[in-house]
Structure 1
Amino acid sequence: MNFNFLSPVSDAVLAHNELLSQQALGRKLKIHSKQNGIPDLDGVKVAILGVLENRNDVNYIGGELQFDTIRKSLYALFPGNWHTSIADLGDILKGDSVDDTYFALKTTLSVLLEKKIIPIILGGSQDLTYPNYRAYDTFSPMVNIVNVDSNFDLGDATQPIKNNSYLGKIILDKPYNLFNYSTIGYQTYFNSQEEIDLMEKLYFEAYRLGEISKKINLVEPVMRDAHIVSLDLKSVKASEVSTKQKYSPNGLDGKEICTIARYAGISNKVSSFGIYEYQTSKDDDVTAMLVAQIIWYFIEGVNCRIKDDDFKDDSNYQKYNVLVEDDELIFYKSIKTGRWWIEIPFLPDVNNKLKKHTLLPCMHDDYVEASHGKIPERWYKAYKKNSF
């Protein structure tokens, strides 16, 4: 098994773990240690993985990362009524170059994805989303990415990759595997009008912070369609985190970011989850505990996954046909969970990204809007993107 790039969890964390209650999460994990090596991953569903790489941060001025404080906070939490086996694989250290780290991360994630293990990646800078995406090259012809962020991170793809421009690289680099990209919680004043226009032109989805704070369940159908979720801690407002982590007085609060993490966990499609832009500092207990709770809620979501998207059996769903102008919209509602989908039609005459009819997760509100003669925006964007 190719896990040569992993360095074990530190002895300090393991010693701290020994003092915890037998019921604590840390006592139930399979942990990569110096003494015992990589744990047996048979039956493991979720694996935690640190990546100590932040050299492509635009503000990088040296300084080392460590995730010991996050691990101590996470290990001390108590698990829910979980049936999921969890491993902590330790950290990928900085390579001689950033490309070496990318290669190590991509290789490690490929092994985990092949074994159907969901990695929770602790970063470093958010450009690590790029090797995470490239790990899917051999698995999935079309990948959907959701970025929980105050910025779009489009940047200039002709320039070397940075943590504020990795998306341009994802869009323009071959093989072209990106189908959809969504940003949750963006703040307009952190994004140029050109970037906002480009998001529109590419029919990507973007949800403003105000929209999300007003109606957090908007996030659920977006996450239900995601393969990769990349969470930037800069999306969290300054009052929720410790000194070095503070970025903006506006942002998602602790409860909202944990709700979003749980929605990501519940999604049957999400197969990797990254938390990026963590800044190590002496007073980072609050941020470390927030990251630990984000991880906790993601794992809680994974435990609550329900297979409700089998549409081969008519008894699993109800079907609704709605006529809006000249379009017939077809909705499906799962009898098991009450979740909704809308059909994106196959267009045989165009250069189609889809090979057949496909179902896009949506909300009951979309069905209600369609019943009142309004085409849901998510359907419109997916339809137009499919018509390129």
Structure 2
Amino acid sequence: MSLVDFFVPVDDRKFGTEAGFFTSQIGGQVHVFTKNFPDIEEGKVDIAFFGVMDDRHSVNNQGCAIGPDYIRQKLYELYAGSFKTRIVDLGNIKAGHTVTDTYVAVKTVVASLIKKNVVPVIIGGGQDLTYAQYMAYEELEQKVDLVVIDNKFDLDELSDDPSLEANSNSYLNKIFLHQPNYLFNFSNIGYQTYFVNQDSLRVMEKLLFDVNRLGDFRNKMSVAEPIIRNASLLSFDISAIRASDARANGNASPNGFYGEEACQLCRYAGMSDKLSSIGFYEFNPAFDTHGQSAMLLAQMIWYFIEGFYQRKRDFPLQPKSQYLIYRSTLKDNSHELVFVKSKKSDRWWMQVPYPNGHAGNERYHLVPCQYEDYQEAVSGQMPDLWWRTYQKLI
């Protein structure tokens, strides 16, 4: 089946050649599927947008299925930055006969794009589509790292049945319980404690996953950079943004990230050499006052694009001459910790050795970190990130 079979074109009068965008605007630079499906030949396209018009498993937010075109309208009005874009818009995936049919379509499209070295930008739809986004990596046969920006954990701690259908409040169950399991790490950015069951926190701790409260990032957004840099895929729930900045969601909350902070997170995502897909979910135009939330999401995607075209290509770590190696020994001399710093971007990584008996050829696992982790090691302390990563490798 060809990719075009999954999509319906968008309105040429709004988004295509008849829309009248200037060539300096995003809308004047993107090849949009209005009549002819874009050619997605490897090496000619960097980013592919597509909408998913399915909200049947979105909890308390019916109506987000029609969100993609509202975001498109705002995005295409924005002017491109100082980067040359190679972007296509594939149109929209309509809801399948069943939600599972929609998942299969999203999975197939995302997997096909990644294999062509094209980064999919998914505009949902309900956040349960994250499960389909994740399943696309099954064909790649490699461990992946999932980062979710959300004000809670979409986890049903009372259920351990992988056959149950996912919804926007429980899709993590499907991901965590999926077999074969190729999820290496899960990270949440921005959870708010009063929305989180303490049992869920204990589950995250038991699984050695990284969960980060909203307050951890207040006035220090750089803390999020290495977390996002480690992501293979990212899922962004608009409810993670405070309602005063983005109210277009049936579950909007007074607290959350500010709009400019959300844009910063998306720029980090764009700059990550490892990240190969991103999804924006739960935008509901029924709650959007004056198109403010659609404009914010458009700006978030703009920052993702800007970040993408500023990628430093310093991961994997080649050539070695472009990096500085730092070594530090713990107080009890039990471990030597090795850190790597890129001369090109000043970003840091930590080498975590594989335990004895590891079947692969690699001697260590590289995990993005902060300069503060190196400082902690210099003081003789074991960084928590090193220990948690090592436990996952055992």
Give me the whole-angstrom Cα distance separating, in 1, the residues matched to 2:191 and 2:369. Answer: 20
Q: Do the aligned partners of residues 23 and 199 (structure 1) sit closer, same or farther apart at CA in structure 2, a change above 3 Å counting? A: same
Aligned ranges 1:141-290 → 2 under 5 Å: 141-155=142-156, 156-158=159-161, 159-242=164-247, 244=249, 247-281=252-286, 283=289, 285-290=291-296
Q: Deviations over 1:321-375 (max 9, x none)?
A: 111131211111111211111101110247x899541111111111011111222
Residue pair 2:208, 2:392 contacting (<8 A) in 1 also: yes
Q: Do the aligned partners of residues 157 and 287 (structure 1) sit closer, same or farther apart at CA in structure 2, a change above 3 Å counting? A: farther
User: What is residue 38 of structure 1 aligned with on the other side?
Assistant: 37
User: What is residue 365 of structure 1 aligned with on the other side?
Assistant: 372
Q: Do the aligned partners of residues 257 and 60 (structure 1) sit closer, same or farther apart at CA in structure 2, a change above 3 Å counting? A: closer
User: What is residue 315 of structure 1 aligned with on the other side?
Assistant: 321
- Answer with 168-177 or 3-12: which moved more: 3-12
Q: Secondary structure at the match of 1:331?
A: strand
Residue pair 2:12, 2:18 contacting (<8 A) in 1 also: no
Give me the whole-angstrom Cα distance separating, in 2, the residues matched to 1:315 and 1:277. Answer: 44
Give me the whole-angstrom Cα distance separating, in 2, the residues matched to 1:180 and 1:354. Answer: 21
Q: Deviations over 1:291-327 (max 9, x none)?
A: 1001000010100001113435432111111111312
Shift of 1:157: 4.2
- Answer with 249-258 or 50-59: which moved more: 50-59
Q: Do the aligned partners of residues 353 and 94 (structure 1) sit closer, same or farther apart at CA in structure 2, a change above 3 Å counting? A: farther
Give me the whole-angstrom Cα distance separating, in 2, the residues matched to 1:130 and 1:169. Answer: 7
Shift of 1:267: 0.3
Give me the whole-angstrom Cα distance separating, in 2, the residues matched to 1:354 and 1:197. Answer: 34
Q: Do the aligned partners of residues 226 and 63 (structure 1) sit closer, same or farther apart at CA in structure 2, a change above 3 Å counting? A: closer
Give me the whole-angstrom Cα distance separating, in 1, the residues matched to 2:361 and 2:58. Answer: 35
Q: Do the aligned partners of residues 354 and 252 (structure 1) sit closer, same or farther apart at CA in structure 2, a change above 3 Å counting? A: farther
Matched AA of 1:294: M
Residue pair 2:226, 2:370 contacting (<8 A) in 1 also: yes
348, 351, 354: which one aligns with 1:346: 354
Q: Secondary structure at the match of 1:124?
A: coil
Shift of 1:243: 5.6
Does the alignment pair 1:56 with 2:64? no
Name the % identity: 39
Residue pair 2:148, 2:235 contacting (<8 A) in 1 also: yes
Give me the whole-angstrom Cα distance separating, in 1, the residues matched to 2:299 and 2:220. Answer: 21
- Answer with 299-308 or 241-250: which moved more: 241-250
Residue pair 1:213, 1:256 contacting (<8 A) in 2 also: no
- Answer with 148-157 or 8-17: which moved more: 8-17
Give me the whole-angstrom Cα distance separating, in 2, the residues matched to 1:44 and 1:16. Answer: 19
User: What is residue 301 of structure 1 aligned with on the other side?
Assistant: 307
After the TM superposition, which segments of 4 or more aligned residues of structure 1 sit over 6 Å from their partners? none
Give me the whole-angstrom Cα distance separating, in 2, the residues matched to 1:146 and 1:63. Answer: 22
Shift of 1:81: 1.0
Matched AA of 1:275: F
- TM-score of the aligned structures, taking structure 1 as reference length: 0.94
Matched AA of 1:216: M
Q: Do the aligned partners of residues 217 and 98 (structure 1) sit closer, same or farther apart at CA in structure 2, a change above 3 Å counting? A: same
313, 327, 333: which one aligns with 2:335: 327
Matched AA of 1:32: F
- Answer with 74-83 or 58-67: which moved more: 58-67
Residue pair 1:242, 1:285 contacting (<8 A) in 2 also: no
Q: How many residues are treated as equivalent by the alignment? A: 384
Q: Do the aligned partners of residues 89 and 198 (structure 1) sit closer, same or farther apart at CA in structure 2, a change above 3 Å counting? A: same
Give the RMSD, CA atoms, in angstroms.
Answer: 2.0
Give ranges in structure 2 of 5+ residues lacking alignment: none
User: What is residue 19 of structure 2 aligned with on the other side?
Assistant: 18
Q: Do the aligned partners of residues 252 and 266 (structure 1) sit closer, same or farther apart at CA in structure 2, a change above 3 Å counting? A: same
Shift of 1:213: 1.6
Aligned ranges 1:51-130 → 2 under 5 Å: 51-59=52-60, 65-130=66-131
Q: Do the aligned partners of residues 195 and 265 (structure 1) sit closer, same or farther apart at CA in structure 2, a change above 3 Å counting? A: same
- Answer with 158-167 or 218-227: which moved more: 158-167
Residue pair 1:237, 1:251 contacting (<8 A) in 2 also: yes
Shift of 1:187: 0.5
- TM-score of the aligned structures, taking structure 2 as reference length: 0.92
Give me the whole-angstrom Cα distance separating, in 1, the residues matched to 2:145 and 2:38. Answer: 31
Shift of 1:153: 1.2
